[in-house]
Chain A
Amino acid sequence: MDVRFDKVSKTFGASVAVDDFSITIDDGEFVVLLGPSGCGKSTTLRMLAGLEDVTSGQIFIGGECVNHVPPRARDLAMVFQNYALYPHMTVAGNIAYPLRIRKLSREEIAGRVERVAALLEIGSLLGRKPRELSGGERQRVALARAIVREPRAWLMDEPLSNLDARLRVQMRGELKRLQHELGTTTIYVTHDQAEAMTLAHRVAVMRNGKLQQFDTPLNIYHRPANHFVAEFVGSPSMNFIEGRIDPATGVFKGEGIVLHLDRPRFDSLKKPDAEQRVVLGIRPEHVQVSAGQRDGWLPASVYVTELMGSETFVFVTLAGEKIIARAPGEFRADVESMVWVNIDMTKAHLFDANTGENMWRRQDV
């Protein structure tokens, strides 16, 4: 079922948790609300579930305004961060609970519980109590309870954050597959940008209660709307260099660094005046490193290198600026040794230093 937030705001006393939030989520879509803790993403989800009142604005599910519909009548299913399994019921009891509330027949309930348990491979756990389960098993039970009812949408509030790293990646994949197979509209809250990128059809990045950008993962990554989105998404984070642009020549001048902007892109830019401070952003993969000297490349000294196996992150000091470069796995350099770097200016972003706005969103993606 499609879900629409229309100018939704939520205030707790004087503090604004969600501010003028508007997005439309299509039927069957997987949308991730992404942001640091306290950005209002969980509050947004809880408003959709009906667990928080909406201060102003409207929320629609399937075209119907649900502002004053109690949670039980919204026909949604929610998975909580701590799973919220009912401790006094067995696994089967937990999964059957939403069906029992709806007064389904005993045979119907048993059949559905069995099918969902088989789907999530927890058939052997049905007689156990939640406290006898491992974290991963509890997670599956919580998912089963959400799935069993075939609700209008699934809401998930950081469902994977209590799992260990390996299990998290595994469950992430299973979750994506499950959503693909069942085609249920899903709204998923997380602060983990890797989860957002891998799971979502579209990501809504939030900060201080405000929507920053609502777009596909690729667009979020390659065409960040502002400084915050560019910094928050991507690991390691984007490099930022503060400076000014000469409006006549298109030369970027930082503290000790001078870079020539890509000419065609500079021409398409609304010219900043000479006094305006800007921030140049460049992703680590768009910074090349070489151990030997090359023509036109800039000399830099190695601050530290991090070996990841498949790749190496090289932290260099370039004219006083700390810059991270993503180099091939076999790249080696000693600390304080000299390397040469090349910044691919066709992939660079320019942000307004005051507003954080991306001054030109790349057109060629």
Chain B
Amino acid sequence: MFLCVRVFVANIFGLMKHRLINLFKYPLVLLALLAALAPIYWMLTISLKREVDQFAVPPRWFSFTPTLEHYADAFLARSFGQYLITSAIVAVCSTFCALLIGTLAAYGLARFRMPHRLDRKLSLWILSTRMFPPIVTAVPLFLMMRDLYLLNTRASLVILYTGFNLPFVVWMMRGFFLEAPRELEEAAMVDGDSRLGALRRVLLPLVAPGLAATAVFCLIISWNEFLYALVLTQTDAAMTLPVGIAGRVTQYEIKWGVMSAAGVVAMLPILIFAMAVQRYLVRGLSLGAVKG
């Protein structure tokens, strides 16, 4: 009898606990979503509002006259189209370079034992380059780029972002390579392939999800980078989108509409790309978590 009561009570509590969690779960998720999406919604609506509606009191959340004038202003009248192209070129080129160099470096560090545990030390040393704040290197890099006559060029940004992304690529890819069974490459090499051939034909297809995840991160970091782009590029021909957008905050006016329109466009490629590789992204990020 006592047991029955205890089981009953336990069940009730169990059920209540379950209910309680459910009761709080969805509001919390909703709150988090709101916090994440509200600024994006605000930017999107600002970009579509006429200037009179932008700062109407009370704010016009949903009812306003939509217009594309800011988009036209940004991309036809001003040079935002050019910034967009620059951003794309810089992001894609630097990501490609970082992946190419970083993957090969990661392979070397993952597969070859160097004397005095140099492979471990090198890996940590590479990682350590990410440990100081970027602003520390801004002035030296500015002087270096000036002496190399690379100020106001896309090349300067490609070089910098490649270097900036390299440690990240090396560490990500090194982890994936360490996960991949060594026998596969060995089998490929005994089967008649060179080391690089085995890397390309056997190992890379195996770590493709990891490579995709790494590429997305590199693209996002390069695409969003602001500090170096601001320091190194001042002309329309070499400016990237984030610098271009920030440049609309001037002494006399703040072009909210233009900035929002450019911001929306700047956000889109990353959003589309991330959605396209989402499947790989999840697999790549959890590649180390579950074996087999």
Instruction: Decide if A and B are genuine partners.
Output: yes
Q: Is the CB of A84 within 8 A of B187?
A: yes
Q: Is the CB of A82 within 8 A of B181?
A: yes
Name which residue of chain A comes closest to B180, CB basis: A87
Q: A77-B190, A145-B187, A149-B191 are in contact. List 8 more A-B contacts (CB 8 A).
A: A51-B190, A80-B187, A86-B187, A87-B184, A88-B205, A98-B191, A101-B191, A149-B192
Set of chain A residues within 8 Å of B183, measured between Cβ atoms: 80-82, 84
User: Is B193 on the interface with A (CB-CB < 8 A)?
Assistant: yes
Q: Is the CB of A51 within 8 A of B202?
A: no
User: Is A31 on the interface with B (CB-CB < 8 A)?
Assistant: no
Q: Is the CB of A51 within 8 A of B189?
A: yes
Taking CB atoms and an 8 Å cut-off, the chain B residues in 234-252 that contact chain A are none
Taking CB atoms and an 8 Å cut-off, the chain B residues in 149-195 that contact chain A are 181, 183-184, 186-194
Binding site for A on B (CB under 8 A): 181, 183-184, 186-194, 197, 201-202, 205-206
Taking CB atoms and an 8 Å cut-off, the chain A residues in 61-109 that contact chain B are 70-72, 74-78, 80-82, 84, 86-88, 97-98, 101-102
Set of chain A residues within 8 Å of B205, measured between Cβ atoms: 88
Set of chain A residues within 8 Å of B206, measured between Cβ atoms: 87-88
Shortest beta-carbon distance, B62 to chain A, in Å?
A: 49
Set of chain B residues within 8 Å of A98, measured between Cβ atoms: 191-192
Set of chain B residues within 8 Å of A101, measured between Cβ atoms: 191-193, 197
Shortest beta-carbon distance, A234 to chain B, in Å?
A: 32
Query: In the complex, what distance in Å separates the CA atom of A356 from the CA atom of B215?
Result: 61
Binding site for B on A (CB under 8 A): 49-51, 70-72, 74-78, 80-82, 84, 86-88, 97-98, 101-102, 145, 149, 155
Shortest beta-carbon distance, A138 to chain B, in Å?
A: 13
Set of chain A residues within 8 Å of B194, measured between Cβ atoms: 70, 72
Set of chain B residues within 8 Å of A155, measured between Cβ atoms: 190
Set of chain A residues within 8 Å of B184, measured between Cβ atoms: 84, 86-87
Query: In the complex, what distance in Å separates the CA atom of A62 from the CA atom of B20?
Result: 76
5 A-B interface contacts by CB (under 8 A):
A72-B190, A72-B192, A72-B194, A80-B186, A155-B190
Name which residue of chain B comes closest to A73, CB basis: B192
Set of chain B residues within 8 Å of A71, measured between Cβ atoms: 186, 189-190
Q: Is the CB of B193 within 8 A of A72?
A: yes
Query: In the complex, what distance in Å separates the CA atom of A75 from the CA atom of B186?
Result: 14
Question: Of B186, B191, B201, B202, which is within 8 A of A77 by CB?
Answer: B191
Query: In the complex, what distance in Å separates the CA atom of A177 from the CA atom of B131?
Result: 62
Name which residue of chain B comes closest to A155, CB basis: B190
Query: In the complex, what distance in Å separates the CA atom of A155 from the CA atom of B181?
Result: 19
Question: Of A81, A82, A102, which is within 8 A of B192 by CB?
Answer: A102
Set of chain B residues within 8 Å of A51, measured between Cβ atoms: 186, 189-190
Q: Please indicate which of the listed interface residues B184, B192, B193 has the most CB atoms of chain A within 10 Å of its own CB.
A: B192
Query: In the complex, what distance in Å separates the CA atom of A103 from the CA atom of B209?
Result: 29
Query: In the complex, what distance in Å separates the CA atom of A24 from the CA atom of B205?
Result: 40
Query: In the complex, what distance in Å separates the CA atom of A118 from the CA atom of B64?
Result: 73
Question: Of B188, B192, B197, which is within 8 A of A86 by CB?
Answer: B188
Query: In the complex, what distance in Å separates the CA atom of A97 from the CA atom of B192?
Result: 9
Query: In the complex, what distance in Å separates the CA atom of A45 from the CA atom of B189?
Result: 15
Shortest beta-carbon distance, B199 to chain A, in Å?
A: 13
Set of chain A residues within 8 Å of B197, measured between Cβ atoms: 101
Query: In the complex, what distance in Å separates the CA atom of A285 from the CA atom of B223?
Result: 78
Name which residue of chain B comes closest to A49, CB basis: B190
Q: Please indicate which of the listed interface residues A49, A50, A101, A102 has the most CB atoms of chain B within 10 Å of its own CB.
A: A101
Query: In the complex, what distance in Å separates the CA atom of A82 from the CA atom of B184?
Result: 10
Query: In the complex, what distance in Å separates the CA atom of A51 from the CA atom of B188?
Result: 11
Q: Is the CB of A78 within 8 A of B192?
A: no
5 tightest A-B contacts by CB? A84-B187, A84-B183, A98-B191, A71-B189, A101-B192
Set of chain A residues within 8 Å of B190, measured between Cβ atoms: 49-51, 71-72, 74, 76-78, 155
Query: In the complex, what distance in Å separates the CA atom of A190 from the CA atom of B50?
Result: 79
Q: Is the CB of A84 within 8 A of B193?
A: no
Shortest beta-carbon distance, A94 to chain B, in Å?
A: 9
Query: In the complex, what distance in Å separates the CA atom of A362 from the CA atom of B187?
Result: 43
Set of chain B residues within 8 Å of A76, measured between Cβ atoms: 190
Query: In the complex, what distance in Å separates the CA atom of A87 from the CA atom of B183?
Result: 12
Set of chain B residues within 8 Å of A82, measured between Cβ atoms: 181, 183
Query: In the complex, what distance in Å separates the CA atom of A78 from the CA atom of B192?
Result: 11
Question: Of A74, A84, A87, A88, which is within 8 A of B186 by CB?
Answer: A84
Q: Is the CB of B189 within 8 A of A72?
A: yes
Query: In the complex, what distance in Å separates the CA atom of A86 from the CA atom of B181?
Result: 10
Q: Is the CB of B202 within 8 A of A86?
A: yes
Query: In the complex, what distance in Å separates the CA atom of A102 from the CA atom of B202?
Result: 16
Q: Is the CB of A97 within 8 A of B191?
A: yes
Name which residue of chain B comes closest to A87, CB basis: B206
Query: In the complex, what distance in Å separates the CA atom of A50 from the CA atom of B186?
Result: 9
Name which residue of chain B comes closest to A71, CB basis: B189
Set of chain B residues within 8 Å of A49, measured between Cβ atoms: 186, 190
Name which residue of chain A comes closest to B185, CB basis: A84
Shortest beta-carbon distance, A87 to chain B, in Å?
A: 7
Shortest beta-carbon distance, A77 to chain B, in Å?
A: 7
Query: In the complex, what distance in Å separates the CA atom of A87 from the CA atom of B207?
Result: 11
Set of chain A residues within 8 Å of B193, measured between Cβ atoms: 72, 101
Name which residue of chain A comes closest to B205, CB basis: A88
Query: In the complex, what distance in Å separates the CA atom of A82 from the CA atom of B197?
Result: 22
Shortest beta-carbon distance, A88 to chain B, in Å?
A: 4
Name which residue of chain A comes closest to B187, CB basis: A84
Name which residue of chain A comes closest to B292, CB basis: A131
Set of chain A residues within 8 Å of B187, measured between Cβ atoms: 78, 80, 84, 86, 145
Query: In the complex, what distance in Å separates the CA atom of A311 from the CA atom of B190?
Result: 45
Name which residue of chain B comes closest to A51, CB basis: B186
Q: When A72-B194, A86-B202 are in contact, do A97 and B181 touch as well, CB less than 8 Å?
A: no
Q: Is the CB of A84 within 8 A of B181?
A: yes
Name which residue of chain A comes closest to B191, CB basis: A98
Query: In the complex, what distance in Å separates the CA atom of A72 from the CA atom of B189?
Result: 5
Query: In the complex, what distance in Å separates the CA atom of A193 from the CA atom of B193?
Result: 34
Query: In the complex, what distance in Å separates the CA atom of A97 from the CA atom of B201?
Result: 10
